[in-house]
């Protein structure tokens, strides 16, 4: 277990605000006199989104955004993480613009030491396609004018409350542009809840066109047959998925089970999703998988994740840390 804690890891699915340290969140909520009772409730999807709303009330300045990003990078480094793709939804805060938000996060990530950090800009589906188009137009402009942003932003994430009325089809043209014109990666939340409007089928078809440019977040509602032969990596988040699927045992996690027990399933990465919401950690997620499915080849899981990173420099970051710590 000590070796798993120390082993070199890669984090591909972590939301910045959801990764706020619980102690930081409690302190900020108390300072603002906010009701934090939702933190004591069982983590259903609905409660998680109540907690995100609380976090967003607490993280109300770019200074605090920078603090939570630095704290999370520190936690990841302590957990053996060599490379992270952090994702976040740009917000205009206290008179500063969404572009300022992206610039701030990129600065913090570019200054990280002992870990290589990149950014995925999140599109929150609940804000609708027009807001997403506006945000992405600003990011495109920033990538042209700011070399740090250009280096650090490596993809766009499709997230937000999956029960919102907006399906993937309303955003598909934007992700096509990101993938085909910007040449960046698309990390798409899919199959968190069974949607009736064919969202999963559309996302799967989009991924099959260029599987290496697309990763799936969670992908819980896909059938094994739908995924067979698909080369896009699945970002599995054990604690988060166990909570939203209400699993009594991680052994029943459909994607992890399939990955470790059957052949032909897509590559998979072990990720945290929202350490601050689920009270988890990257090393802890690896240990949970080991306890539920071990002995399994966790080094191969890391290698698969590194191969699916949207910046090729991930491979070098992993090699460097392995050489330094011999694990």
Provide, rounded to whole angstroms, the least separation between the CB of residue 15 and ligand 5GP. Answer: 4
Which residues contact residue 284 at a Cβ distance below 8 angstroms, ignoring those fewer than 6 apart? 239
Phi, psi torsion values for 216, nearest 5 degrees? -105, 130
- Contact between 136 and 156 under an 8 Å Cβ cutoff? The reply is yes
C-alpha 231/C-alpha 189 separation (Å) is: 16
> Between 128 and 315, whose beta carbon lies closer to ligand 5GP?
128
- Contact between 168 and 195 under an 8 Å Cβ cutoff? The reply is no
> Between 162 and 266, whose beta carbon lies closer to ligand 5GP?
162
Provide, rounded to whole angstroms, the least separation between the CB of residue 133 and ligand 5GP. Answer: 17
Task: Please identify which residue in the block is written with the tokens 């997403």.
Answer: 132
Provide, rounded to whole angstroms, the least separation between the CB of residue 160 and ligand 5GP. Answer: 4
Provide, rounded to whole angstroms, the least separation between the CB of residue 6 and ligand 5GP. Answer: 27
- Contact between 137 and 103 under an 8 Å Cβ cutoff? The reply is no
Residues within the interface to ligand 5GP (CB under 6 A):
15-18, 52, 88-89, 122, 124, 159-160, 162, 189, 192, 240, 273-274
Note the helical H segments in the chain. 2-6, 22-31, 45-58, 62-78, 98-110, 129-145, 147-152, 172-176, 199-209, 224-227, 238-245, 254-261, 275-278, 282-293, 298-308, 313-325
Which residues contact residue 223 at a Cβ distance below 8 angstroms, ignoring those fewer than 6 apart? none
| The Cα angle at residue 288 between residues 118 and 273, in degrees rounded to 5 | 30
The two tokens of residue 128 are 């609708």
The two tokens of residue 29 are 């909520």
Provide, rounded to whole angstroms, the least separation between the CB of residue 225 and ligand 5GP. Answer: 24
C-alpha 113/C-alpha 229 separation (Å) is: 38
Provide, rounded to whole angstroms, the least separation between the CB of residue 273 and ligand 5GP. Answer: 5
Determine how β-strand 116-124 pairs with β-strand 153-159: parallel
> Between 184 and 190, whose beta carbon lies closer to ligand 5GP?
190
> Between 4 and 186, whose beta carbon lies closer to ligand 5GP?
186
Provide, rounded to whole angstroms, the least separation between the CB of residue 24 and ligand 5GP. Answer: 14
Provide, rounded to whole angstroms, the least separation between the CB of residue 135 and ligand 5GP. Answer: 11
> Between 157 and 304, whose beta carbon lies closer to ligand 5GP?
157
Provide, rounded to whole angstroms, the least separation between the CB of residue 117 and ligand 5GP. Answer: 14
C-alpha 286/C-alpha 306 separation (Å) is: 15
> Between 8 and 241, whose beta carbon lies closer to ligand 5GP?
241
> Between 18 and 185, whose beta carbon lies closer to ligand 5GP?
18
Helices 45-58 and 238-245: angle between axes, nearest 10 degrees: 130
> Between 44 and 141, whose beta carbon lies closer to ligand 5GP?
44
> Between 15 and 166, whose beta carbon lies closer to ligand 5GP?
15
């Amino acid at each position: 277990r000590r070796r798993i804690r120390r082993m070199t890891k890669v984090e591909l699915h972590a939301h910045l605000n959801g990764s706020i340290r619980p102690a930081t969140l409690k302190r900020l909520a108390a300072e603002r006199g906010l009701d934090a009772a939702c933190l004591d409730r069982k983590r259903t999807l609905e409660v998680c989104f109540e907690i995100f709303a609380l976090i967003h009330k607490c993280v109300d300045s770019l200074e605090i955004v920078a603090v939570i990003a630095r704290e999370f990078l520190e936690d990841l480094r302590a957990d053996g993480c060599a490379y992270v793709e952090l994702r976040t939804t740009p917000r205009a805060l206290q008179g500063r613009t969404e572009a300022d938000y992206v610039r701030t996060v990129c600065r913090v990530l570019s200054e990280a030491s002992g870990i290589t950090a990149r950014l995925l800009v999140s599109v929150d589906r609940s804000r609708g396609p027009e807001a997403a188009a506006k945000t992405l137009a600003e990011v495109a402009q920033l990538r042209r004018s700011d070399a740090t942003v250009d280096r650090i932003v490596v993809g766009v994430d499709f997230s937000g409350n999956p029960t919102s009325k907006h399906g993937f089809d309303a955003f598909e043209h934007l992700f096509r542009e990101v993938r085909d014109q910007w040449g960046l990666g698309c990390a798409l939340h899919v199959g968190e809840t069974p949607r009736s409007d064919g969202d999963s089928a559309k996302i799967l078809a989009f991924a099959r066109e260029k599987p290496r440019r697309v990763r799936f977040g969670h992908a819980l509602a896909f059938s094994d047959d739908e995924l067979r032969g698909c080369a896009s990596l699945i970002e599995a988040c054990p604690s988060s998925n166990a909570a939203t699927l209400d699993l009594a045992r991680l052994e029943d996690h459909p994607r992890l089970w399939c990955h470790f027990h059957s052949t032909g399933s897509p590559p998979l990465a072990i990720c945290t999703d929202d350490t601050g919401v689920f009270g988890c950690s990257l090393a802890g997620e690896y240990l949970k998988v080991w306890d539920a499915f071990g002995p399994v080849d966790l080094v191969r899981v890391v290698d698969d994740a590194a191969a699916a990173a949207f910046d090729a420099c991930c491979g070098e970051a992993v090699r460097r840390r392995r050489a330094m710590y011999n694990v």
